[in-house]
Amino acid sequence: MFVTWLLISATLLGFVAADNGGFTYNGFHSANLSLDGSAEITPNGLLKLTKATRLLQGHAFYPFPIDFKTSPNDSVLSFSTNFVFAIVPEGPMLNGHGITFAITPARGAPGARPSIYLGLFNDSNNGNDTNHVVAVEFDTLQSIEFNDIDDNHVGIDVNGLTSLVSKSASYYDGKSDSFRNLSLVSGKPTKVWIEYDGKAKQMDVTIAPLNSGKPNRPILSLRRDLSTVLHETMFIGFTSSTGTPAISTHYILGWSFTMNGSAQEIDTSKLPRLPRIGPKKKSSLLVIGMPIIFTVSLMVLVLGLAYCALRKRMFKELLEDWELEYGPHRFKYKELYTATNGFSEKEVLGAGGFGRVYKGTLHSSRREIAVKKVFHETRNGLRAFITEVVSLGQLCHRNLVPLLGYCRRKGELLLVYEYMSNGSLDKYLYGEPKCSLPWRQRFQVIKGVASALVYLHEEWEQLVVHRDIKASNVLLDSEWNGRLGDFGLAKLYDHGTDPQTTHIVGTLGYLAPEHIRTGKGTTYTDVFAFGAFLLEVACGRRPIEPKGPSENFVLVEWVFSCWNKGEILNVVDPKLRMDYVAEEAELVLKLGLLCSLLEPTFRPSMRQVVLYLEGSMAPPELSALNLSTAGLTIPQTSGFDGFVGSSASFSGCKSCSYCTSVENSVLSGGR
């Protein structure tokens, strides 16, 4: 009965002792803690480390030492702690400095200083290996001397305040599969989980708002064996400080800790409440003020209505009845205008004949997007185009840039894509790029684009012909994966035209000869463009480059010539400095020649290309005979207009021996 009474009493007080050398405080009523500095326990059970006074520091430590090792020479055991803290700033511009959870050899932090030292170190011992201190800081002021990343970050410190790893305060939202920002000085409680795996030698730090569950991804991870830092027995607790003029009040609402296990979750329903921020609002209406209030309110109403009318006119969109069914794929113009800061020049990512591309961030979800403005004067066929945009928005492949939707307003069409942080592939290939992609990444990009084309050609419910495959339309995400973009955009210019007429769409150097003759895009024309893409990625050169006033350098001709002389690897991009896999490079170059064959049916399918690249199937052997029979072509060399007007079965540059030999082969009976 006596033991039962003790457990009930401890629970009512918000404190429960745990096994494995652990404890749990759901509030700090009658808690046995070692306090010094400005630290105190308030009447309602809050652990208050500092108050809104300049140059204070507060320490609150568990009074008994914790065994972190079984013997002095053993590894540090696993441990886990949960706590809830809140930082209440004195004013909008007066927040500082922060809180640390610290593991120290002594109970407290002797000789510590306030302000930037967070009540944990001082100017003479900061960074000394003799400190034997491990801490996790929640810092609300950027200290340049400690290389702080910003004024709202979490960091893991060892023996000093220069964090080994740090990150802006945020938490993982599983629903959106992204990290959301979290303000440490919002005055609202924040939950923290700190876990150290003694076997993996890894510390994880996870944070979240009070009413959220534990996220399934930590904000920080540090792989570090703490055995050389921590003694056999250590003390654990909290430190905080204020500065001048940066002052805040620091609170701990609850705390649990355990060794060799998961610390008990804090019971948020038992936590004490934070004090009210600011004075209580008073509602007092004086009779003498009524006329003034009425007049001001009327003026505000009139101005507000006028402002709303102007805003409505500014963001007025053209929305017809038939578009209602595409609602989930249509963005509001106002939303995109806000996301791009009014389509600011500072947000321009690129420009072309179609219009401009802007970077933006959706206000509602904080998702980064790329908005392509396309000017379209023709109304005929617009419904068919939007139907296709919505349909293409259903494409889902890891190597395609997701098309999120569209918006139209007056003569503008706006296409909304997911933002790719590393930009387009071409800026890493040509000229003298700041960063040249290594061969390993180039080969991965090639395989990714090939996989995306198989998906477009064969695996989706409808066949999609891209029509404009080139390095500038391949974007690199944050992990440097290649993603094919602008799919379906080329068809924009076909909507509203007579289906019996042809309209050539694409880029010189990537256009298959049959596409130029007929204007029809097929999977074969995509394969031809992919061949040009393979050569430009391997060689670091554009398919066609000016060589003189009336002469062009043709990449496929050069590669063919070097292959014919048995020197095909001489064409590999010199920026790679011979740091590439010769077998892979030779495979890519030979596939580029195969995909560039004049006769469409002799080109491999994208499914075959993927099998070749993955090594699942050996590519056909190249020989002068089979290339001559199938026909290699170098279109556009003698001028694009002349090429389009030619009715010959072979349309090459008739000035070079390569084209002449292939043309003779074709005219003498070769396909």
Structure token pair of residue 77 = 């055991």
Burial string for 613-629 (b: 16+ CB within 10 Å, else e) reads beeeeebeebeeeebbb
| Residue 429: closest CA among 536, 585, 553 | 536
For tokens 């927040």, the residue is 95
What's the one-letter identity of residue 45? G
CA–CA separation, 467 and 319 (whole Å)? 30
- Sign for the CA dihedral angle at 306, 308, 314, 320 comes to negative
CA–CA separation, 486 and 452 (whole Å)? 13
| Residue 441 phi, psi (nearest 5) | -70, -35
Kindly name the residue from 148, 157, 468, 486 that is annotated as catalytic: 468
Residues 6+ apart with CB under 8 A from 454: 606, 607, 610
CA–CA separation, 123 and 117 (whole Å)? 8
CA-atom Rg of the chain in angstroms: 34
CA–CA separation, 534 and 442 (whole Å)? 10
271: left (phi over 0), alpha (psi -120 to 50) or beta: beta
CB-hemisphere CA count at 13 Å for 561? 12
User: Catalytic site residue 468?
Assistant: yes
Would you mind telling me the total number of residues written for the chain in this entry?
671
CA–CA separation, 452 and 459 (whole Å)? 10
Cis status of the peptide bond prior to 245, with omega within 30 of 0: yes
User: In sequence order, what DSSP letters do the residues of 166-213 get, joined into one string?
Assistant: EEESEEEETTTTEEEE--TTSSS-EEEEEEEETTTTEEEEEEEETTS-
| Residue 510: closest CA among 547, 543, 541 | 543
573: Cα separation from own chain's centroid: 29
CA–CA separation, 97 and 144 (whole Å)? 14
CA–CA separation, 417 and 395 (whole Å)? 12
Write out the catalytic residue numbers. 468
